[in-house]
Chain A
């Protein structure tokens, strides 16, 4: 596949592995914000050959992992209403609420449709005029513009039975919340690739300046990741803290302004609950009153239940980078992919799922 295969070439990757080893001149702790980075690093086998002294901590960039238990419970109760059909990304299907998942609800008769794109959910609404379709919105800045465009398309096409339940989140606020914690000692951030294509590499400059952090934007192929890790090691070795972009073919400094305008048209900032981090002001997006017809929370009577996290579950600590899965008493005992307690285990890119799947003993 073009623009993919070149960046996976073994002949290019292997020398970069050697270069990475040379670049680690002092120990460093880097937070990988993006769940897809966590997955890619495990999957490519990079985790197993990371040089001594380079510690990677997974952060809150897994949209499914940070979906609060009370939001999951609200999603599930929505799915169970008659004449409602929920449409979801596959990632959400097995995430547990306090009492089962959407998969369990589906087996009890709830109408749950897995879609690849929010536009598929709109077509679902057109095909099923007798149901109210609720698209369960999760995701960060990469996903939100498409959801916004879908709402606009629904309005332009005058579709009356399509709504979105927005739990969309934005990226810098939780990082600022985490970085304010003196116990979290990190030297740098491995910044997300595709979120950055929307918000721009410049979004991390305030973090580099305020917290003296090396910030490197990286893509997802083996050579992209190695590139990112090398530059992080070099910056920390030199005592430098700046923003570098190694994913130039997709990311620029300013970001995607057209996408930003689309999001701004449909959504406005709101406070949002993050699993493990609590409610962070201005870290989420709500549908503007102008588009209330497409807002599931405005059209339906939705009460967010007050749900407590499962006892012993350390997902919150793990998302803050304070614990690793093997330190959680439930990991690989009561909590496994077949029987997940918290989203970190269910989500395909959750830290615990990655540790379990890719074989940490």
Chain B
């Protein structure tokens, strides 16, 4: 029920443990930039990380390793190889 897209972090402000600090990141996707909030993201991102953004909040920081595993499994599935997930 939720529109959320991956966007790249280009700037970070604030302290993950201090909710009175403004926990803001600037993110970018194909040249479109926006400020979003980091108050509820699971792992505090680093510059260059990709975060999943929903309604102006980052809800997850992507791990490149997981994304690569995801696409690899898809390719295996497409090639007709058996797979085990989880």
Contacts and interface: CB of A to CB of B under 8 A. Distances in A.
Interface string A235-254: 00000000111111110010
A117 B79 contact: no
Contact of B8 (A2, A7, A227): A2
A195 B70 CA distance: 19
Which of under 10, 10 to 19, 20 to 34, or 35 or more describes the interface residues of A? 35 or more
Which of under 10, 10 to 19, 20 to 34, or 35 or more describes the interface residues of B? 35 or more
Contact of B6 (A3, A153, A223): A3
B11 interface: no
B1 A245 contact: no
B55 interface: yes
A148 B30 CA distance: 30
A351 to B, nearest CB: 13
B6 A4 contact: yes
Contact of B1 (A2, A16, A34): A34
Contacts of B8: 2
B78 A249 contact: no
A211 interface: no
A36 B60 contact: no
Contact of B2 (A1, A4, A143): A143
B71 A197 contact: no
Contacts of A248: 66, 69-70, 73, 85
A6 B60 CA distance: 19
B6 A201 contact: no
Contacts of B71: 6-7
A104 B16 CA distance: 42
A3 B2 contact: no
